[in-house]
Structure 1
Amino acid sequence: MTHPHPSPPEYPESPAQSAPQQPIPPQYPQQPPQYPQPAQPQQPPQYPQAAQPHQPPQYPQTAPPPPYPQTAPAGIQPQYPRSATASAPPTAALSPDDPAHPHHISTDRRRVHITKDQRRTDATAVGNLLLYLPNFLCSLAVVGLVSAFFGDLAFLVILAWLASGALVFYRPAESALARRLLRLRYPTPQERAKLEPVWHEVTARAGIESRTYELWVEDSDALNAVAAAGHIVGVTRFALNRLPNGELAAVMAHELGHHVGGHAWSSLLGYWYALPGRVAWRFLKAFSGFVFTVSRAFGCFGAAFVVLFIGGIALATISSLYGLPLLILGVPYALAAVGRRAELRADEHAAALGFAPMLAAVLDKLHQQEQREAAELRARNGGAHVEESALSKLLSSHPDYHTRLHHLQPYLETRQH
C-alpha cells in the first residue's frame, strides 16, 4: 500500500511576496568612502619650561664651550685651552720627560762601534802630573823621614807608598772614595732604568765600552756631575730628575771626556801622592801657630826667637833643594789653570758627540744657579755687591760661563748650517 508524499506546509506569504517580484536596484552609499589620511608629521618634542633639580635640560649647542679651569691648587699652573694656531710652548714649560722637548733624544739600541783606544792621556793630563811633581817630592821627603823610624824596613815603606798609587784604579778603593769623599751612592732601580739608556747612547756615540764605568748618584739639589778615579761617573739627583735626557746625556758626555782624556785619574793620582806633604804642611802650620802663641807669653823676645828659628829651617830647606819648595806657592794657580783647560776639553768632547745645544742649555742653567747664589750672598751682606778678587778667579777650577759658551760656538754654528 503506497502512501502519497506529504506536501510541504503552507506558510503565509507577505504582501511583497504575493506581488510579482521586481528586480531591486543596488543601493549605493550616499557618502563617498573614507580613505586613510596621510600621517601627520611628528610634533617636535616639548622641552620642559623649568629645569628639574636633578637633571638640567639638554639644549643642543653648536660647539661645546672650552672648559675653563677653576682655582688651581697651590704650586700647580692652570692649563688653558690653546688654539690650533698657537705657537709652540717654550722649552721651560715642557716636562723633562716629554718626548716633544727639543732636547729630548732617542735612546733606542743600535749597533755600537767600539774604538781601539778606550783611554788616552792628552796634554792636559800630562801637564797636571808635571805640576804635581813639587808636591810629590815634598811627600817623598816626608815619607822618607817617617820611614826612618822603621830601621831596616825603611826602604820597603817607601816602596809600599809608591805602589799605593795603583789603588786609584782598584774598584773597591774607588767605591770607598765615592762613598766617603764624594758622598755618592749607588742608584736605585728606578734611577738606573733612567740612567743606563742615556749612558748607552753617550758611549755608543763615543765608541766606548759602557761597562767600563760605574754610574753613581749624589743626593744634591744642585746641578752638578763628577768624574773620579778611573771608573766613576756621578750625577746629582737634580740632574737626573730635572733635566731632559738630552741635557743629561750632555752632562754625562762631558764627564766621559774627563775619563777619556785622562783628566780624572791624573788629578786623583797627583792628589794622592801630594797627600803626605799636605798633611805635613798642615801639621807644621798648626804647630808653628801653637809655638808662636806660647812664645808671646815671654814677650817680644820669645816671639822673635820663634820666627827666626822657623825662618832658618825654611831657608835651609829651600837652599838644600835648590829653591824647589818655592814652586809649591805657585802650584795651586797653575793647577787651577790646567783644570780650566781640562773643562774646555771635556766640553769639546761632548760637543763633538752632537750634544752642543744641550750642553749650552746646561751651561745656561749653571749660570742662572750661580746668579741666584750671588743674589743670596748680597742679601746676607745687606745688599752690598761682593766682588770676587783676582786671586780667587785665578784659583777657580772652572772657566766662566761666557768663556765656555764661546768655545762651543763653532759646534753650534755647524749644527745650524
Structure 2
Amino acid sequence: MTRPAPQPQDPGNGPVPADGGPRQSPPNGGAVPPPDHGPDPHRTATAPSAPDDLIYEHGPGRRVYYTAHQRRVDVTALGQLALALPAFLMSTLVVLLVSSILDGCLGLPFWIPAALWLASGALVFHRPTEDLLARYLLRLRRPMPQEAARLEPVWREVTAIAGIDGALYQLWIEESDELNAYAAAGHIVGVTRFTVEQLPSGQLAAVLAHELGHHTGGHAWSSLLGHWYGLPGRAAWRALRAMARSVVTPARCAVYLTVGVLLLAIGGLASTAAAVLYGCPLLLVFPYLSAAVGRRAELRADRHAAALGFAPKLAEVLQIMHANEVRTRQKALAVMGQRMERESTPARLLSTHPDFATRLHHLRHHL
C-alpha cells in the first residue's frame, strides 16, 4: 500500500489531515505527544509484563478517514500470480481430463466441472468459507474476551492510521508460544497467543501493521489462489507417485500404465506451456524465483508498517525474533552435539522469508 501524501504539520498536535479531520499523533509515542485530555476510557490494559506504550487516538466514536482504495495489487502479488500460472495450466488439464471421464461415464456435461472449479476461487473471499479455513486448516480460534479487549483497540488504531476499514478483517488466535502472526485468505489476520499476551502495544501494533500490508498489497489472496488452483495438478502428481510405489499386480498394470501415460502427457503439456511462457532456463530456477517473490512480499509488508510510523517497534520485534531463533537453534544443535553453522546459500535462496539482518537493513531508512 502506498502512503498518503505528507500532511502539513502543526507543532502542537501532530499532522493535520488534508480534509480538516481530527489531528493524529505518532502511533508509537514519538517525539510529538498528544494533548492531555485526561485518562482515555478506551485505553486497554495489557499483560503485567507488557506495559501499554501505544497512544490511542482513534477510539470508538472518533472520526476516521478511509483511503479511496482499500486494496491494491502490487508487483509482488502480480509476481505470485504469474509464477502460479504453470501449475494452473497443469491443473486445468487434469480437471478437463476428469470432466471428459465424467461426461463419458455419467453423462455430466463437459463444461460443468471445469466451470465449477474455475469459479471456486471466489471462495477465498467468502466469509463462511474463510471461517472453515481458519478453524480446520489453519487451526485458529476466535479471540477470548480478554484477548479481544487486548487486540481490538490496537487493530483499530493501526487500521485507522492506515485509512483502512478494520471491520473488513477478522482477528483470529493461534494457540502457540511463539512470536508470530500472518495474513491469510481475503480477510484473516492470525496472531499467536504469545504475541497477544507478551508484546507491548507498540510492538503488537507494528506486527499487525505488517500483516495489514500483506492484505492491502494483495499478497495473501494471490498466494492462496495460486495454491488453490495448483491443487489438482499436485494431487495428480502425488497419485502417480503413490501408484509407482505401490505393489502392482499384473491385472492392474494396464490400468496403471494408462493413467501414468495420461499424467505424463499432462505434465509434458504443462511443462511445454510453461516453457513457452517463461523459457526453459527459467524452469530450472523456478523454485528460487518463487521464494524470491515471497521474500519481496515480506519486505514490502515491512515497508508498509514503517510508512505508518511503526519502524522502530517493528525493528524491536525483529530483533526479539532473531534472538529467539538463534537460541532455539543452539539448543537443538547442543542436543545433537553439533556446532551452529551458517545457513547454506541454496537454503537461503529457497527461504520464503528474508533473514532478520536483511529486514533490519531495509528498515534503517525509516528509523
- The bucket for the TM-score relative to the shorter chain is 0.7 to 0.9
Q: CA deviation at 1:377?
A: 2.0
Q: What fraction of aligned residue pairs are identical, expressed as a percent? A: 55
> Aligned partner of 2:97: which letter?
L
Partner of 2:84: 132
Q: Give me the CA root mean square deviation.
A: 2.7
Alignment of 1:408 with 2:363, yes or no, is yes
Task: Give me the TM-score of the superposition, normalised by structure 1.
Answer: 0.68
2:90–2:269 Cα contact (<8 Å) kept: no
Judged with a 3 Å threshold, the aligned counterparts in structure 2 of structure 1 residues 290 and 198 are, in CA distance, closer, same or farther, namely same
Q: CA deviation at 1:353?
A: 0.5
CA distance in structure 1 between the partners assigned to 2:181 and 2:332 by the alignment = 24
CA distance in structure 2 between the partners assigned to 1:179 and 1:231 by the alignment = 14
1:132–1:331 Cα contact (<8 Å) kept: no
SS at 2:310's partner residue? helix
CA distance in structure 1 between the partners assigned to 2:225 and 2:262 by the alignment = 33
Partner of 1:111: 63
- 1:189-228 equivalences under 5 Å are 189-228=145-184
Partner of 1:98: 51
> Aligned partner of 2:67: which letter?
T
Q: How many residues align?
A: 304
Q: CA deviation at 1:328?
A: 6.2
Partner of 2:217: 261
Partner of 1:366: 321
> Aligned partner of 2:69: which letter?
D
Higher relative contact order (CA 8 A, sep 6+): 2
- 1:65-104 equivalences under 5 Å are 95-99=48-52, 104=53
Partner of 1:233: 189
- 1:327-338 equivalences under 5 Å are 330-338=285-293
SS at 2:272's partner residue? coil
CA distance in structure 2 between the partners assigned to 1:245 and 1:397 by the alignment = 27
Q: CA deviation at 1:155?
A: 1.1
Alignment of 1:149 with 2:101, yes or no, is yes
2:91–2:230 Cα contact (<8 Å) kept: yes
Deviations 1:204-253 (A, max 9, x none): 11000110101111010000001001111110001001100000000000
SS at 1:141's partner residue? helix
1:184–1:217 Cα contact (<8 Å) kept: yes
Partner of 1:187: 143
Deviations 1:368-398 (A, max 9, x none): 1110121122123213445533332222110
Alignment of 1:353 with 2:308, yes or no, is yes
Q: CA deviation at 1:285?
A: 1.5
SS at 1:227's partner residue? strand
> Aligned partner of 1:369: which letter?
N
- 1:319-334 equivalences under 5 Å are 322=272, 324=274, 330-334=285-289
Judged with a 3 Å threshold, the aligned counterparts in structure 2 of structure 1 residues 317 and 239 are, in CA distance, closer, same or farther, namely closer
Partner of 2:347: 392
> Aligned partner of 1:389: which letter?
S
> Aligned partner of 2:54: which letter?
I
Judged with a 3 Å threshold, the aligned counterparts in structure 2 of structure 1 residues 318 and 117 are, in CA distance, closer, same or farther, namely same
Structure 2: stretches of 5+ with no match in the other structure? 1-46, 251-255
Alignment of 1:167 with 2:120, yes or no, is no
Judged with a 3 Å threshold, the aligned counterparts in structure 2 of structure 1 residues 229 and 279 are, in CA distance, closer, same or farther, namely same
> Aligned partner of 2:101: which letter?
F
Partner of 2:237: 281
Judged with a 3 Å threshold, the aligned counterparts in structure 2 of structure 1 residues 201 and 277 are, in CA distance, closer, same or farther, namely same
Partner of 2:202: 246
CA distance in structure 2 between the partners assigned to 1:399 and 1:225 by the alignment = 16
Q: CA deviation at 1:313?
A: 7.7
CA distance in structure 2 between the partners assigned to 1:270 and 1:319 by the alignment = 19
Deviations 1:20-65 (A, max 9, x none): xxxxxxxxxxxxxxxxxxxxxxxxxxxxxxxxxxxxxxxxxxxxxx
2:51–2:201 Cα contact (<8 Å) kept: no
Is the radius of gyration larger for structure 1 or structure 2?
Answer: 1
Deviations 1:47-88 (A, max 9, x none): xxxxxxxxxxxxxxxxxxxxxxxxxxxxxxxxxxxxxxxxxx
2:86–2:270 Cα contact (<8 Å) kept: no
> Aligned partner of 1:270: which letter?
G
Task: Give me the TM-score of the superposition, normalised by structure 2.
Answer: 0.77
1:120–1:261 Cα contact (<8 Å) kept: yes
Q: CA deviation at 1:189?
A: 1.0
